[in-house]
């Protein structure tokens, strides 16, 4: 049987594609972002170092995604600069960009909530001429945005593979990169506690150190998710993880801590399982393992939520509007 075709985003025409310089920070997010019909140039160095890796990995990058060698960037023509890390904003724009390029329309894409004080951290972009984009309303609420105008563009997901949920594997699955090194914030202790009571598969970079399965290729992850009975999100404090939405898009029921933006996405017992009481979550996981039909019911409702709220069409339209705003 032939492999399922890779889904494609709906075609949207623009008067002239913008030339946007950005960095490869979060691979899956960048892949979804590049469904926007503009030309994206990724900062790239010869070592393919952190955030300079260009068209790396196994994602099916489109023809609108290009590499921008660091030694050539000053001589390249762009219409806008899209920053995605503090280092790029505070350091690299002065090292890599010309003075004229630093006067171009600029957007800073903030992927995370504040990592220092959760409510009293002033964002380092303090410029009324820059647009600060948050990926969740929760993030925008928690940051002190200061004088910088900001807006929220919620995630949009385009599944890499159209796979049906089967849930035949009576286990939960957890997807977190380097969970042991990222500690309590990403729920390492929660995962370890729950895994003593519930069969769980851990995937992600560095997961072998915790007895996990290691990193799963982007193209293979949907089928891996779909085979498991449920998806467990042990994270205490983060943005809204794309892996959660990707699981919901497939119809995998999600069990999660009732924290951050996720409380506005999941309704306990309706389209998922959500609670701050870990022992209660363990009880519900056992119920899902014993009742595949209940797991499927929650997964179907979660899939409908994800498709309505995190569809790629809305995401593309929101980004087109933001880019029109800064380049007008």
Query: Hey, where are the domains in the chain?
Result: 19-156+311-327, 169-309
Instruction: Provide the H-helix boundaries in 132-220.
Output: 137-142, 179-182, 188-195
Task: For the domain covering 169-309, report its CATH number.
Answer: 3.40.50.2000
Contact 205, 290 (CB under 8 A): no
User: In the predicted model, what is the mean pLDDT of the chain?
Assistant: 95
Which phi and psi angles does 168 have, rounded to 5°?
-70, -20
pLDDT reading at 93 higher than 50: yes
Same CATH fold assignment for domains 19-156+311-327 and 169-309: yes
Q: How far apart are CA 33 and CA 316, in angstroms?
A: 7
pLDDT reading at 5 higher than 80: no
pLDDT for position 55: 96
**DSSP-assigned letter for residue 147:** T
pLDDT for position 15: 75
pLDDT for position 11: 61
pLDDT for position 161: 86
pLDDT tens string 46-70:
999 999 999 998 899 999 999 999 9
Kindly state the percentage of the chain with pLDDT values over 90.
90
With b for 16 or more beta-carbon neighbours within 10 A and e for fewer, the 147-164 pattern comes to ebebeebbbbbbbbbebe
When computed from its CA atoms, the radius of gyration of the chain, rounded to whole angstroms, is 20
pLDDT reading at 224 higher than 60: yes
Q: pTM of the predicted model, to two decimals?
A: 0.93
Task: For the domain covering 19-156+311-327, report its CATH number.
Answer: 3.40.50
């Amino acid at each position: 049987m032939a492999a399922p075709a890779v889904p494609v985003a709906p075609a949207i025409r623009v008067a002239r594609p913008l030339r946007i310089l950005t960095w490869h920070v979060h691979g899956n997010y960048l892949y979804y972002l590049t469904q926007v019909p503009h030309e994206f140039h990724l900062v790239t160095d010869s070592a393919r170092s952190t955030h300079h890796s260009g068209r790396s990995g196994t994602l099916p990058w489109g023809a609108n995604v290009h590499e921008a060698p660091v030694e050539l960037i000053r001589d390249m023509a762009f219409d806008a600069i899209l920053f995605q890390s503090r280092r790029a904003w505070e350091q690299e724009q002065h090292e890599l960009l010309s003075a004229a390029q630093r006067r171009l329309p600029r957007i800073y894409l903030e992927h995370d909530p504040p990592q220092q004080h959760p409510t009293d951290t002033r964002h380092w972009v303090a410029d009324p001429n820059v647009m600060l984009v948050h990926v969740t309303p929760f993030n925008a609420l928690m940051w002190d945005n200061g004088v910088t105008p900001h807006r929220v563009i919620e995630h949009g997901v385009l599944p890499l593979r159209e796979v049906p949920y089967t849930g035949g594997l009576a286990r939960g699955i957890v997807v977190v990169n380097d969970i042991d090194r990222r500690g309590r914030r990403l729920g390492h202790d929660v995962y370890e506690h729950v895994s003593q009571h519930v069969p769980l598969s851990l995937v992600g970079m560095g997961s072998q150190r915790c007895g996990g399965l290691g990193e799963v290729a982007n193209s293979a992850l949907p089928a891996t998710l779909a085979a498991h009975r449920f998806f467990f999100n042990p994270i205490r404090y983060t943005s809204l993880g794309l892996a959660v939405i990707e699981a919901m898009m497939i119809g995998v029921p999600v069990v999660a801590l009732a924290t951050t933006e996720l409380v506005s996405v999941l309704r306990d017992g309706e389209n998922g399982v959500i609670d701050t009481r870990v022992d209660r979550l363990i009880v519900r996981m056992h119920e899902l393992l014993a009742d595949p039909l209940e797991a499927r019911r929650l997964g179907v409702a979660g899939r409908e939520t994800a498709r309505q709220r995190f569809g790629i069409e809305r995401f593309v339209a929101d980004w087109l509007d933001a880019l029109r705003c800064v380049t007008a």
